[in-house]
Structure formats: structure tokens, C-alpha cells
Chains A and B, each alone.
Chain A
Amino acid sequence: MIQFINQYPETETFDYHKRLALLRERKLEQTAEKVAKEGGLDEDDYGRVVPPDYFKFKITPNNPDGHFYGYSGWTENFTRLLAEHPLYVDPLDAFVGRGFFFLIRLRGMTGDPSYPYPWNPAHPFDDLKPVFARYNIICGIGRDHHFNPDIKMGMELGWGGILKKLEHYRAQNPPETYEFYDSEIAVVKAIISFLRRISHQLAELSLIERNPTLKRNLEEMADINFRMADGSPKTMREAVQWMCWFSMLSRLYNRGSAGGQLDQLLLPYYENDIKAGRITDDEARFYLGCLFFNDSRYYQLGGPDIDGNDTINHLSYLILEAANEVNIACNLTVRVHDKTDPVFLRKAVGYLFSNRNGWPRFSGDTALVNGFMRCGFPRQEAIARISSGCHWMSIPGKEYTLNDIVKINTAKVFEMAWREMMDDGTPSLEELYKRFLSHLKCATETTADGIRFHLNWQDQNEPELILNLLSHGPIEKGADVTKSATYFNMCVDGAALATVADSFAAVEQRVIREKRLTFAELDGYLTSDFAGTEGEYVRQMLQKSERYCQGDTLGDRWAVRISRDFSELVRAQNQRYPGLNFIPGWFSWSNTIYFGRHVGATPNGRKAGSAINHGANPHPGFRHDGAVTAMCNSIAAIQPGYGNTAPVQLELDPGIAESPEALDKLVSMIRTLLNSGNTLLNINIIDEDQILRAHEHPELYPDLVVRVTGFTAYFSMLSKPFRQLVVDRIISKRGVA
């Protein structure tokens, strides 16, 4: 157990603000400890804590390869982990629910970013692997979560209700579904036992705690947890406690997943408490603050209802204020639409600039809704599809998606096309694009094959034993969500759009139009990685060609063409696999570095092995004035247009919003860029000098948070290459100023 009992004298008094401030201090200490013990982790914070030294969990394999697979393997290991899992309790906190592990990682990792987790060897896919390798595809086979559970349904049922629901449907379904039901029933029973154990431990600790305020808090937590073991929440505190545990349990299982629309999920509980006089706004903010300490889960705020009216409410404001008070890495997304409460939006943007912690970010309702409706969904479902992850949207409980998992490195596709064309000795721009499309088609089809394969066998590899419980379909049908989801909206992201578009533009400009180089000469420079002074000269010439995001340039036109053709290729997979809806996007996440490493020098002047562009962003240094508007217009123009995103990632100086008037301009900028077709906006407020100092001495800046890609992270927790990416963007910007 990790506990902080009797840390304060009996006479010490606390109010909610003091408790949040003390919890924040502890959070920063824990971040520093995580960095010291685990090193750079290019991912979300998850609210996870370093496990106590004495606790070791050893998995029980059910396969000769030393790993475990399928219903029995996951059930046995998860229930045992729950039975043994130590409690983390902080009497200052309103909730318990911190986790230490992800079982998916305890099972063992492969070390290969293409297939990070072991896959059940009973179902080989050796036929697909060479194609995945050829195009540097991250195929998604064996990957998990990345879709949105229906937390509202979970809270209405409670664990006891979920258990009853499982037993009810088991009785109605045939014996071949019993493996599913028996596993799920065992898991839910283990959860209920775990929560009862926790509540007993809390009751025991409350007897020891000397401070009366904290003692009362522990008693309350014990009571609440006893009720939440199998009951449904009735108050806001119970609801948040339920959410904290659900977060922990799904993280503990396989790191999943997203939160939901927080200001709607909690609204009925908050309103009931207010009506009954059980809660003050101060108390509500305290609970929300504690929720953020518990987990950095993604939550959406606001958005339209079915009639187009704004759903921002008083609780939305409390959520923003609580996030402001705890001021840590929060993953809050404000969904911006025509009728977004302007006061709320301004407040949200104000916090973004004053806290400089990368939250909130902003999603563009119009483009997302219209895009998703193009897939054939009704407006109601498009609105219900809420911001849930780094770059993705999901309808709670209804979709299986592999969002932000499946990626095609189009720079590698380009490289294949280039090499093949040069080896065949028929170089031309048309030929290059023709071959690029041909390889992209092959890459996309094989990616779709991989997704279908994953859906066929994932339940035999890693069933979603936690998220199944909050999905519509699995319990009713007695099958894993990979076989029983309401919708299969499979995300296929392209990566390296700018790298490839700029490469085509550079070839068109320098080889075809200006005839400064021949194809053969360019090939020579690429092969030598722009060696020597003349190589560097040519590299800079290529780099200064008309680039993507400069505004109506060759690079912009190529990017639009490539994105349109990529979208068509992805959508064409629907015909190959009826029942599956493939949705294109542009996003590279932390694969920005990994993908770059696998691609040699490219005609956009990029050196071999260096990073591809991030997401849908341009390569750094794209414009002399770095104009945000030019960039946002270009990114709006390449949106794939089917409800998934190609995010805008901005880095802005904190000084830009110093006056109220300047803040108004930035609010306007955000509204305009989202109303102009963009889908998602991440803004990093970067004090450049501070970042450069923190890069040298990360340990001195434990609370410096940046939005690296889709997620916010402590800068000190990033690996050096990833910190370098952020630093390079700054240096590049300064270089052209």
C-alpha cells in the first residue's frame, strides 16, 4: 500500500484549495520520481504512479512463448493482478483510484514499434508482414482500446448492474458464448471484490489517521467505495469516484481509454446535489481537480445538442476553473461550433495562454459532423461522436475503431515509387505520381487486410474484457467488441503528407520547370544524402522550393491532391470489406521520429533518417513569417473529410496574448480556423527560452508541460529525441526570422 496517513498534525486545518495545492506538490514529486526511475516516455501521463518497490507481479503464461493470450489468459492474469494490487490512498484526495501498471505491458513488449505487443502465434500473418515492412506500415494487428466506452451507461448500471446484465444475457445465448460470459463475469466479480477490499482498507486507515478533517474524509471514502463496489452513483462525488475506478481498471487492463463529455456526464449528479443542498461549487471544483490528478484522460467540453444549441453549462465553467487550479497536464477539448458560448471560449483560451500547459485544445464541430455524415451516419450520431484521444473522435460505447493506431508512412511509399521509377529508367513527374499512387494503393489495401485480420482474431489474442462492459453489443451478443460493436469505423491515418507533397513540389519546380537538376542528378544527391558542399547547396535549394502551408503554392496543390487520392483509396476499402467503414486521417503521433528513421533522403531537402513532418503540419521553417493563417488554410484544404481529423498543431509565444485585445484576436483566430474546415487544434504556448533551458536540464523543470502531438506531457518525461523535435521547431523558427 502507498498511503500518506498521519502526515499532518491533528490541529492542521484544510480547505479545498489547500488540499489541491498540496496534492499538486505531491503530483510534481511523483512526476520527478517517474522520470528518475523510468526515463523518457513519449506518451501521456495517465496519472500513473511508480509502483511500490516491494510489489512485483509475475504474469502466468498460457503459451509456450512465455506470454498469455485469449479469454483465459487475460482473465486469469487480470483477476489475480486485481486481487494483489496495492492500494494508493492520499487522505487529502477526495478519491482513490491511482494505478501503477498496464497489464498489457507487464505481459511483455516486442520492442518493435510496428508490432509493439506480442500476438497469439496460433494465428500468424506472415504473408502480410513483408508488405507492412516495405511501406513501414503500423498495422494495428493486436492493438487495443482506442475507442470510447459509454461511461454514462456504466454509471447507470454500476458493477452490480453490469454483473446482472452479463448473467441475464448468458442465459439467453448459446454455449459457444460462455467463454466470453464466464470471463467477463469473473472479471466483474474480481472488480467488486477489489473495491470491497479497498473500502475495508480505507475504513482501517481512517481509524489510524489523527487529523480530524482527513479522518472524516477517509471514512467518507470508505463508505462511498463500499457503495460503489456494486452500486450506481447517486451523488457527484460517487460519480467521480466511479469514473476514477473505471479509469484505473481500464488502464490497468490495457491502458484504455477515453473519458467522454465531462460536462454532460456529471451534470445530472451535480444538479441533483445542488438541488438537495449537498454540494457547493467550491466542493464540486475540488472533486473535479482530484479527478484530474487521478488521470489525464481525454474529456470533451461543450458542443451542440441535436438542435444545434450549445451544451456549455455551469458545470463546464467549474471544470475549466478546476483544471486551472490544479494546473497540470489536462486533456480537455472544447468543441467549437456556431453557437459556442463566447464567454466560455474566451475563458478557455485565456487559461491556455496563462497556464501554458497545452490545454484546452479545440475541435471543429462543423467539419467533423459534416465529414462523419458523409460516411452515411445521421446527424445525431455525428454530434455524439466526441473528442476522445490524441486526434480522434468516437461515439461512446458504439464504435470499434483502432483510432490513432493504424498508420501508413507515405514517405516510405514515395521512396519505393522513386526507387522503382529510377531503376526502370523512365523518370517523369507523371510517372512518379502514377507509381506513388500504385504503391499507396497496395499499402492501403494491405493495411485494410491487416485490419480485417485483426478483427478476425483479436479476441483470441486480447479480448477487451473491460471496455466490452461499457459497449453496446458485446454483452448482448456474447462476443468481444471486435466482433460485436454497433459500428466498425476503422481509422487509417497517413503520415508524412508534407514530406511527400514538398518532395513532389520540389521535383516539379527544380527538375521540371527550372531544369536546375535532372532526375538522375537528384537521385545521386538523394543516394549520397546530400553529401559535400554541393550536396548541401542542392539540399537547401530543394528545401526552398514552394512548400506546403506557404499558401496556394506547388506544395499546397500537391498536398491537396495527395490527400484526396489517399482518402479515395481508404474509402475504396469499404467495397473490399463490407461491414467495415474505413475512415482516412493524417496523423503521425510519436511515430514522427520512427517513420523518419526508416526513410532515406527525400527531394524536399530532408536528410536521411530525420523526422517526417508531424501530423498534417508543415515541416518547420515553412514560411518566412511563419504565418499561422497560411498554415491553417492549407491544413483545412487537405482535410480527408470523413469525420476523422488532420489536426493543426500550433506553437505560439506566450507574449502573443498579453493584452485583452490580443486575447480577443486569438479567440477569433481559433473560431475562424475551425469554421474554415479544420477539425482539431492543438496549441502549445512555448516560452522558447525556457524550453531551450529545459532541454539542457529537464530535471530543473518538472512542471513544464507541452502539448507534444495530440497529448500533453511533462517536458521532462519526454525522451531526448522527442524533446529535440520541439527544440528544432524553435531553432528553425528563429533561423528564418
Chain B
Amino acid sequence: MNSAEMTTEGWITEIQRFSLNDGPGIRTSVFFKGCSLNCAWCHNPETIRPQAELMVYPARCIGCGHCVEVCPTGAHFKQNGTPGFDRSKCVNCGKCAEVCFPGAMVMSAKKVTVPQVMAEIVQDRAYYRDSGGGVTLSGGEVFCQIGFAHALISACREEKLHIAAETNLHWDFDTVRPLLTKLDLVMFDLKLADPEAHRRWTGVDNARILSNLQRLDSLGIPLIGRTPLIPGATDTEENIRAIATEMRKLKNLVRWELLNFNPLGGSKFEALGLPDPFASVQPLNRERMSELIRAAESGGVKVIAG
């Protein structure tokens, strides 16, 4: 690690050790803050915006009022002894979260240096070695923080760790290319084949994503494709078959994972003070999952349910 990499700072929401679902073996996943898409079903909505924001969990509040004492804008207040919060006045400064040990106020992200992240990552080296695991950079979108991602990837390579990135492919290829070539595995999302539907549900169309996918494949890095099965959005045979066509074109695709809808985002939307468009949606049942897997298999690539 050179001195610039040592001091490079980035925003992350979480470091998840003993991660079993983010690539081969036992891994540590680092969740980057900030995303270039805005998927309506996101189960990590706290990773979307680039800045840290306040997440509020009223059920944990013990009514101590320490947040009121430190809040510079009056967003936290007490009325008749009962704590209250006016999000419109909140400037996400994080002062309340610093004193809220009960955890009713939590900042969605923290600023870290590469050595700080590496100190956590290397603790599980023995587990990576035996299981064929390593580090997965996830998010949010990893490549929204290109400098930090670059420094972290370099540091992992110096430690000779297997390194994977999960990405939505929505970025400038030439900027990201030098980082991609240092990865051992790329796990990419392909959510919707139809450009208009893609725009409607994620905020951008998929032209750049599909183009980047082809260019990524030309780099010869092993790829794992992922498609979240979102009821009413991505879970049609038509969409799955169309994505299958894209998957079939790839020379380096190891497999394609179909991920059932994860309703865990719900409480996070609430904590962020955002509406959850999928609040009442349930995961697909086993039969429907099987049907969609069969549709996916029509593309002739290896498909698994994630």
C-alpha cells in the first residue's frame, strides 16, 4: 500500500464477516455507500445515497433526551416529556447518533481508511484460505467511490486475497477498467431486459449496462450474473428469457443466480423516513421460483437459486 492508498478514505455502511452468499468460500463483504441506480425494491436502501444519513428506530428509544441536547437544528425535541423527531429539520450531522447508545439513532455509513478496513479483513485470512474465500466489495455501487475502491483492491491484492466485486455495471467503462483487471471475480446484476422497464424501476435505462457487460466479458474475468426476482417487476418469464439471451452471449459466465425477493429492506426504508414501495410484497413461493429457474435454464447457462 502506498501512502496515498493508506490515507484514502471511503464511505461504507458495513463490514460483514463470515459472509456465505457473496461469492466462493467464506468471505468478508464490504458494503460501499452510494449507488448509481435507485431500484425501487432495494433491500439495502441505506446504501443508495452518497452521504451518510440518519436512520431512526423509535422502538429502541428509551426517552433519555440526550439527542435533544446535542441536536443543532431542533430536529430532536421533547414534547410533554415524550421524544419527537422532525426529519425535515435534520441535516444528517450525526451528533445525535454519537450519543445514542440505545441505537434509536444510527448513521447509515461511516468514513473509513483502507488500513482500517484491512485490519478487519485480515482477521479471517485462515478462513479464506481453507474455504477458497476472500473479500467481496459490495454496496451500493462499489465503483461510485473509484479512488477508495482502487486503494482497497490494491491492498487486498498485496495481501494475496481473492477479491470479488458486486456491481450494477452502470459506470464509465474506461474509468473502471483498471480496477476490473485486478479482480478475481465480478458478480454483476442484470435486473430487467427491457430498457423502459429498467428506467422505470431503477432510474436509468440499461443500454450502458448491457454494453459494459460485453466489454467486461472481453477482459476474461470469471463472471457470476445475478437477477433479483421482484414480484411485479422482474419476475416474468419474458424478462427472464430475455436476460437469458444476454447471459448466453458471455464467454466467462460461471453461473447465473436468481435471487428471490428479500423483504429485509422494509424496516430500513422506515428508518430512513422513506416510503417502501414493496412494503406488502412477499417473496416468491417455491413453485414460482422453480418456474422461473426453468425459464432461465432455457438460455443454456448454469442457473441456481440464490
Interface residues of A (CB under 8 A from B): 533-534, 536-537, 540-541, 543-544, 551-552, 624-625, 627-630, 633, 656, 659, 662, 664-665, 668-669, 671-673, 675-676
Contact = CB atoms under 8 A, between A and B. Distances in A.
B102 A540 contact: yes
Given A537-B101, A629-B127, A669 B64 contact: no
Nearest to B15: A625
Given A537-B62, A625-B16, A551 B120 contact: yes
B101 A629 contact: no
A533 B127 contact: no
Interface of B: 14-18, 20, 25-26, 62-64, 66, 101-103, 119-120, 123-124, 126-127, 129-133, 304
Given A668-B127, A668-B130, 11 more contacts: A544-B103, A551-B120, A624-B14, A627-B16, A628-B18, A629-B18, A630-B18, A633-B124, A668-B131, A669-B131, A671-B130
A283 to B, nearest CB: 38
A675 B101 CA distance: 37
Contacts of B124: 629-630, 633
B101 A541 contact: yes
Contacts of A541: 101
Given A537-B62, A552-B119, A629-B26, A672 B20 contact: no
B123 A665 contact: no
A627 B123 CA distance: 11
A665 B131 CA distance: 6
A541 B101 CA distance: 5
A633 B26 CA distance: 14
11 contacts: A534-B64, A536-B64, A537-B66, A544-B101, A551-B17, A627-B18, A629-B123, A630-B124, A665-B131, A668-B25, A669-B131
A92 B83 CA distance: 67
B80 to A, nearest CB: 15
Contacts of B15: 625
B104 to A, nearest CB: 10
B211 to A, nearest CB: 31
Contact of B127 (A544, A625, A669): A669
Contacts of B123: 551-552, 629-630, 633
A232 B176 CA distance: 76
Closest 3 CB pairs of A and B: A668-B131, A627-B17, A541-B101
B26 A668 contact: yes
A365 to B, nearest CB: 16
Contacts of B126: 672, 675-676
B17 A537 contact: no
Nearest to B306: A659
B286 to A, nearest CB: 12
Given A627-B16, A633-B123, A669 B26 contact: yes
A451 B287 CA distance: 63
Contacts of A676: 126
A568 B59 CA distance: 46
B102 A665 contact: no
Contacts of B26: 629, 665, 668-669, 672
B101 A656 contact: no
A665 B20 contact: yes
A632 to B, nearest CB: 9
B63 A533 contact: yes
B131 A672 contact: yes
B102 A537 contact: yes
Contacts of A664: 131
Nearest to B66: A537
Nearest to A664: B131
Nearest to A624: B14
A540 B18 contact: no
Contact of A540 (B17, B63, B101, B119): B101
A540 B26 CA distance: 32
A629 B17 contact: yes
A458 to B, nearest CB: 44
Contacts of B120: 551
A587 to B, nearest CB: 24
A537 B132 CA distance: 43
Contacts of B127: 629, 668-669, 672-673
Interface centre among B26, B130, B304 (most CB of A within 10 A): B130
B17 A625 contact: yes
Contacts of B66: 537
A385 B253 CA distance: 50
B14 A540 contact: no
A533 B64 contact: yes
A669 B133 CA distance: 11
Contacts of B17: 551, 625, 627, 629-630
B15 to A, nearest CB: 8
A683 to B, nearest CB: 14
A361 to B, nearest CB: 19
A537 B130 contact: no
A78 to B, nearest CB: 51
Contacts of A672: 26, 126-127, 129-131
Contacts of B25: 665, 668
B302 to A, nearest CB: 12
Contacts of B131: 664-665, 668-669, 672
Contacts of A533: 62-64
Nearest to A657: B20
A541 B124 CA distance: 28
Contacts of B64: 533-534, 536-537
Nearest to B27: A665
Central interface residue in B15, B20, B119, B132, by most chain A CB within 10 Å = B20
A540 B62 contact: yes
Q: Which of B26, B132, B304 has the most CB of A within 10 A?
A: B26
Contacts of B14: 624-625
A353 to B, nearest CB: 13
A656 B127 CA distance: 17
Contacts of B304: 659
A543 B60 CA distance: 14
A237 to B, nearest CB: 41
A596 B1 CA distance: 48
Contact of A662 (B16, B20, B63, B130): B20
